[in-house]
Amino acid sequence: MGMGAEIRNRIARRAAQEIKDGMTVNLGIGIPTLVANFIAEDIHVLFHTENGILGAGPSPEPGQEDPSLCNAGGFPITVDPGAAYFDSSIAFAIIRRGCLDITILGALEVSEKGDLANWIVPGKRVPGMGGAMELAQKAKKVIVLMNHVNKEGESKILKECRFPLTAKNSVDLIITEMAVMEVTDEGLLLKEVIKPYTVEEVIAATEARLLIPAVVPTVTEVQG
């Protein structure tokens, strides 16, 4: 990713604000896994993992890992009281039935229409698409966390995705280190600019066309 821990945490902290009490949420690999660290104490959320847990908890302390407990990315996790275990068919049935309130995913590219490309860079070897294709289509709300530009400084938020798509017209909200953008029927709406960036800098860094309201709130980093 080439992104500092501070920026990754800032994006995750902003995404955590979208999670309300009683939701069932799936967190993708990468920045999305950090979101669990920023859930407020009074928010009770069930984290779903596609390898078969509802009620996944935070990462264990070093030395406290349980070799039998991991998330879909293979990383050690804990479970909350009342967690349920099941096989992959049930894990995917939960996704396909539309039972997830939110899925939070990483992305390589997102288009202004909400098309998502997050599974392969052409020419690179990958283990497979995983559950992202179904998560992106079936969750009630799809939030993408990503850096605004790639390592070459080119926008990752585009009029049309260049990489193979994971799912079309699926993304609802994009959160980067620069801005929060909502995919609407009219186009990509700039909802918030994150300090120290300005509206002009966000427009310059975005290849997609942005709808700019008369007033765009500039938010400082939200303290968890």
Which H/E stretch holds residue 199? helix 199-204
Nearest residue to 161 via CA among 171, 153, 151, 152: 171
The tokens for 217 are 């709130």
Which H/E stretch holds residue 190? strand 188-194
Cα→Cα distances 200→13, 109, 181, 191, Å: 24, 21, 14, 14
Active-site residue (options: 50, 109, 112, 177): 50
Give me the residue label for tokens 């050690």: 76
Q: 50 an active-site residue?
A: yes
The residues pairing with 95 across neighbouring beta strands, listed in sequence order, are none
Total Cβ atoms within 10 A of residue 112: 24
SS3 122: coil
Q: Which residues belong to the active site?
A: 50
